[in-house]
Structure 1
């Protein structure tokens, strides 16, 4: 769009995209002046009167200014919009101005909006250096050139190419493909908006009003501060394209609780983000473990306490792995046995019912809002979220399968604005009523959605009082690797927060360490035999268990630095290397742990009853007498070395724990 400005410096004309921000226009204005104070720039539709300080509009697009937030005169000829500009001169621009209750934002400079301070994910750093082109080989029918040449039939495609996505049945653009598409459309304008094409979607009333001309909502509202009408549309991109579980045993262990109790379970997905080659510039979330917080499971649901008290501890612990991990999503079960055939499950989530219920969708939106994705391409430093929601539910054949989703940016914005709520019907979302109470003020703009009627005609319909939840959901594919190589090698340790079903006990840890003779395993620097190497590998494999590592942190035997060494050691890719445990074995905390295990789990001498003719007060038995008593009792009783139970026979298995007495 063409913008003309008129100021005391003269008339100027700029060609800016409609998506450019008012701050971009302000920067252009500054280029035409010599000593203007950026905080004093005023714009108006008239030569005098109606001035608005441009700082209050810094985050607005020019299109929105033209349509809603400022009444700029729309010229009907080819000359474009005319904006009258006034400003005050100042030798040093002010960086921040507060006027009453309104705090105005300074115009962001290129350096402050460069995004260099944003700590983006490793997968974003990788794709930022890639062009994302889709290579194509020569077409034998149409390519008439040599092997070193290229034509329209074999030249690489853009990662957002519509025909390619349609041919390969890819329904959504990956995030970086979507970003490439946005930047390619604005690159020709050489506007700074090409560096920051993303902005957070918001349906909240702007408080205070940018014009400053009236009392804030709910006392008053105008076109400058009220959100525009909403038309629900399927989201064209997704932040995560694929959910991958590093090993099938992760899901199997999670399902174990439901199999034993028939009550539903919830867990947080711990993993990382990696490139996904099946989609142009795609991203996958790789799950390495599931942490189950305290919860109350029921046959048809569960109760979960939020905010989650141990989240920060788990986040910090996961980040210490050899490949840093984080919370990448959530998973829960929704499994109901078929009444007619108990070996099968009810198929309840499908196209004719629902995929995510309205309650689950709102819950997922809240979790995504709390975990935004760091983004250099956003003017606020973050955009959307990569948090995935997975459901274990019955299939049409009666089995169990994973379904993975995200909710759209529109869903998150509506939840943030407190506009929607769950319905009794799981596939329906209710739009809340407007509320003008000061304590619970809520403005609800008009909401519409489009659908095809019985005649195949697209119809626009009001979403009040309710609309289908499918308009807010984004599908994510899922799967398992062909050659699993999980970071954590073991799944034998009991899972946390399963009282009565699985109990985490430090004595069980001590017994395992004693059984594996951990106290005798020394650093490889002291020399090793083949037997020592096998023992070290067996110990390392047993320690490589997420639930065991998490539990050991809570017993406070290992210091935080020693826990870092433990996590890095047991998640190393070369776990078979004999030296991988050296750093852990040399720590004082580990030595303390194995010493306690040796003393607490080692078998003790059996208690020998005193002869009947010995007075009660004479409890000291001379060593020679004790040896005689032991010789006489040989072959009659034997104490189990693990549970210390005195068995009436000297061979065979223990009557209590079943372990061999030999």
Structure 2
């Protein structure tokens, strides 16, 4: 639950479990104060009461839920600093709770009270925070009248959120850090400013901040009810571009649909990197696609999430070059009935681009993968998880379309306000009841007269109001993290340990030793092992320990040759090589088969005459074998009809 605190040092908020000890709250409050005397700290939930506050130390040792604390409560803190000569004149209000028994005043040391100051951000966020971010401009030949080393208003760099620049370059959304720079300019003192991003919430505040009535659904007022919602395009996007490291990723993913005609779903594994096509942009670089267990339906597919192997795959991806889940991808393809070589275009301006069911699914996944950021008081905000769709184009080809859903969409899903409708292009607003409060929802559009009209979104509204478009593409010079993509994909069938053993035997892997391989041998071995699907399959085989498996994932994705030598020295690799040796086929002799009449062991060994005569007689009898032209059965010499099908042999 979320608890809020207000003191002379500012406003603070923290998340706690309902069963958490009050000592955690005490420790966080003390960390926000300036040289406070712990014995003088008082707490209350009413800013207008006088002289009836409760000592903060008196609630230590009790659970928050036992004290009557609820999600969203606001408390007021007063204290006296140790450097002060007189007690604080600030009064504290009367609390609505009181301890029922004396408790210990001791406190425990816990995490810092301001999570946005200690959150571990993604490297791409760290990179952009250290950059100026301004858009450079060259000298304007028409207006610049200064020297080469001077600058004026016509050539000075632009801010990354400059509206005219985005309009001229057809950039629809601000990048995440350009939006942050617009809210908090780099010249401002961010150390004393509160974080600029506040996560949206459309839930009723329980209990009411005013505390004048029973909590929802017993009562509601303007202080605790959510405001009316006006749907509007999101001005920024958390990720600007999706880059697939190699076209082979899409080709392999499509192979299942090409061979079976069924749809597929997968998770995009990759990393985030700067994207220079937009000011302070961020792109998701996809290095692999992992397909979880799924079943095909008549109108799509079913995926059970979270799946049982999710934790193992996430840990393995992190070991393989620091990868993480950056999005999802699925197919929605139907062959054109008039030309089976083309795909039917179902997603277009006249139908829909992203269905309401897909938007709800994307919102739920985005809520599960927030961005750790220093720009939010909770330490997290939004999500960079993208959803890509492989669908047909008007020309009959296949293309990728990438989307995110807006923060409004995620907040409405979190508040259980919307649901998918039978019409894929529209989203349905749920009816309010005692379990959920649904405020008024509106959206704007231009009517047939070109006038902007505000209309109620109940009972439904277009899905496009919740979408954020994300561009996609491939690198000009591919340099994928995994050099191979040929091993069978998980959960499709076809994965077999015998094929791995056979290939490793063909590569003479048991005979390769660290520091003794040629460059060609090293390249050939890495070329086979550097396959995400192979690494994930070896992890399931049980041959590798967890530590050695991470060594394998690191070795096949690194350019450091010493990591391959380290892999060859692990116990798990030696165990695998032992299995390869034992499963190797028996060696074949290069000597030709012995001639008829020879013993096969030397010229001094002869076949007895009676055995030789029987062999010659059998060879003569076999010479007259007749093969049936109908069923290809070999009949004995002299037969006229086939012994199997009964038809004439001639």
Which residues of 2 match residues 237-316 of structure 1 at below 5 A?
Answer: 237-298=236-297, 300-316=299-315
* Cα separation, partners in 2 of 1:100 and 1:160, compared to 1, 3 Å: farther
- The whole-number CA distance in structure 2 between the counterparts of 1:446 and 1:30 is 40
8 Å CA contact retained: 1:246, 1:287: yes
8 Å CA contact retained: 1:300, 1:334: no
Give the corresponding residue for 1:4.
Answer: none
- Provide Cα deviations, 1:560-589, integer angstroms capped at 9, x if missing partner: 121121111111136xx5x55211111121
* Cα separation, partners in 2 of 1:398 and 1:229, compared to 1, 3 Å: same
Give the CA deviation at 1:112. Answer: 3.5
TM-score under structure 2 length normalisation: 0.76
Give the corresponding residue for 1:393.
Answer: 391
TM-score under structure 1 length normalisation: 0.75
Give the secondary structure class of the aligned counterpart of 2:533: helix
Which residues of 2 match residues 316-465 of structure 1 at below 5 A?
Answer: 316-321=315-320, 323-436=321-434, 441-465=435-459
Give the corresponding residue for 1:538.
Answer: 524
- Provide Cα deviations, 1:251-302, integer angstroms capped at 9, x if missing partner: 0000000000111000000000000000100000000000000101245310
- The whole-number CA distance in structure 1 between the counterparts of 2:221 and 2:256 is 54
Give the secondary structure class of the aligned counterpart of 1:194: coil
- The whole-number CA distance in structure 1 between the counterparts of 2:430 and 2:176 is 31
How many residue pairs align between the two structures? 541
Give the corresponding residue for 1:211.
Answer: 210
- Provide Cα deviations, 1:220-264, integer angstroms capped at 9, x if missing partner: 222222111101010000000000000000000000000001110
- The whole-number CA distance in structure 2 between the counterparts of 1:304 and 1:114 is 34
Give the corresponding residue for 1:495.
Answer: 489
Give the CA deviation at 1:86. Answer: 11
Give the CA deviation at 1:598. Answer: 1.5
8 Å CA contact retained: 1:268, 1:329: yes
| CA-atom RMSD in angstroms | 3.9
- The whole-number CA distance in structure 2 between the counterparts of 1:154 and 1:164 is 13
Give the secondary structure class of the aligned counterpart of 1:156: coil
- The whole-number CA distance in structure 1 between the counterparts of 2:391 and 2:247 is 16
Give the CA deviation at 1:557. Answer: 1.1
Structure 2 residues not aligned, in runs of 5+: 1-6, 14-28, 54-71, 100-110, 590-599, 616-650
8 Å CA contact retained: 1:331, 1:391: yes
* Cα separation, partners in 2 of 1:628 and 1:597, compared to 1, 3 Å: farther
Give the corresponding residue for 1:641.
Answer: none
Give the secondary structure class of the aligned counterpart of 1:476: strand
Give the CA deviation at 1:136. Answer: 0.8
8 Å CA contact retained: 1:40, 1:88: no
Give the secondary structure class of the aligned counterpart of 2:343: coil
- The whole-number CA distance in structure 1 between the counterparts of 2:421 and 2:606 is 77
Give the CA deviation at 1:355. Answer: 1.0
Give the CA deviation at 1:211. Answer: 2.7
Give the corresponding residue for 2:134.
Answer: 133
Give the secondary structure class of the aligned counterpart of 1:220: coil
Give the corresponding residue for 1:640.
Answer: none
- The whole-number CA distance in structure 1 between the counterparts of 2:316 and 2:288 is 12
8 Å CA contact retained: 1:41, 1:88: no
Structure 1 residues not aligned, in runs of 5+: 1-6, 15-19, 52-68, 71-84, 102-109, 607-622, 637-662
8 Å CA contact retained: 1:270, 1:318: yes
Give the CA deviation at 1:98. Answer: 9.0
Report which of the two structures shows the higher radius of gyration computed on alpha carbons.
2
8 Å CA contact retained: 1:264, 1:299: no
- The whole-number CA distance in structure 1 between the counterparts of 2:606 and 2:256 is 50
8 Å CA contact retained: 1:248, 1:480: yes
8 Å CA contact retained: 2:115, 2:378: no
Give the CA deviation at 1:114. Answer: 6.8
Give the secondary structure class of the aligned counterpart of 1:401: strand
